[in-house]
Amino acid sequence: MPSLDDLQARIGHPFRDPALLRLAMTHPSISHELGESQDHNQRLEYLGDAVLQLVLSRELYDRYPQHDEGPLTKIRAQLVNQVSLAEHGRLLGLGEHLILSRGERLNGGRERPSIIADAFESVLGALFLDGGYDVARAFVLHCFRDEFTDVENAANADNPKGVLQEILQAASSEAPQYQILAATGPDHDRNFESAVLYKGEEIGRGSGKSKKLAEGQAAAAALERLRAKNSPAK
């Protein structure tokens, strides 16, 4: 098994108490295999999960002042899931450092996403105990730095009307206005066409099976137009 010194270097924190990091790498299967009370990483996982939720909740609170609890919770859920945490754990090489029972090793435990995700949270718990909140926070923000951009784009895609209004009203108190231009098709299968206007000028147009969807598509088209206009020429 590789030295824990290698893992500390990847984490970017020299542990004052390396036993904490070793504990974070100790899977509960060890206790079951030995048939005795053996310390393992579940308590650190519990702590790390709480720290992760706090760090991300505060970061999202600061990043998205326009969002209420619902959208913030949705964005956080995109960041904190087993797939995401397992990927972060793989990037750190946690699998090769795991202390597993023989049965778990033979059954591919070093590559199992649930085990690696739990180990990632355990490492975060160990970091919190060894270095404090600021160290744990810096670690989380470094790990998730690229994902914030992805979820921001996703959040914007979910609420194009809100994003458009926020951008436009940053420059003027005037809000965008929406007009339904046409409604076609039978009553059970209507299609609406909408335009969004700003200061009397049409800035986007869209269509959909409801007025709300048509207005959202119009807002999305306006956002694309604004981004293209503000993008530096190549």
Q: In the annotation, is 49 catalytic? A: yes
Q: Write down how long the chain is.
A: 234
Cα Rg, the chain, nearest whole Å: 24
Q: In the annotation, is 121 catalytic? A: yes
Is residue 25 within 8 A of residue 41, CB to CB? The reply is yes
Question: Active-site residue among 45, 104, 118, 121?
Answer: 121
Say if residue 132 is exposed, middle or buried (CB neighbours under 10 Å; 0-12, 13-18, 19+): exposed
Is residue 44 within 8 A of residue 125, CB to CB? The reply is yes
Phi, psi angle pair for 232, to nearest 5°: -65, 140
Quote the tokens at residue 8.
């500390």
> Rounded to whole angstroms, how far apart are CA atoms 123 and 135?
12
Active-site residues, by number, are 49, 121
